[in-house]
Amino acid sequence: MENDKMEIAQQLQIVVGEVQAVRQQIASLNAQVRELEGTIVAVSKQPDDLALHRQMGSILIEVEDREQLMQDLKLTLNQMASAVESMSQREKELVETYDKLKESLEG
């Protein structure tokens, strides 16, 4: 009986670590999403007669096709939003697992 509780306590610690890691990833992704949304707004407001540049590695390259740039930015934004959604679902599952483990440890 005592071994079972120790095992559950260990599982609980693992789940807590996973929840923390997922929450950090969600926070990081959300920050990237906000930054990308700001970039999309800035690009859309940039006058056509002013050049736009895109970073490629350590250099900046002038963008020739603004439409393609916007498509790329929006695609990346959608992919990141999807990743946030997946990570949020994973967080929910982990919290449910945590609650069940905690219940079995207390019961």
CB 5 within 8 A of CB 105: yes
Query: What does the pLDDT read at residue 106?
Result: 85
Residue-wise pLDDT for 4-37, tens only, equals 889 999 999 999 999 999 999 999 999 999 999 9
- Indicate the number of domains in the chain: 1
Here the CATH number for the domain that contains residue 74 is 1.10.287.370
CA distance 17 to 91: 11
Residue 76, pLDDT > 90, answer: yes
Instruction: Give the domain range for residue 80.
Output: 2-106
pLDDT (average), residues 40-61 = 94
Degrees to nearest 5, angle at CA 64 with 67 and 37: 45
pLDDT (average), residues 30-49 = 96
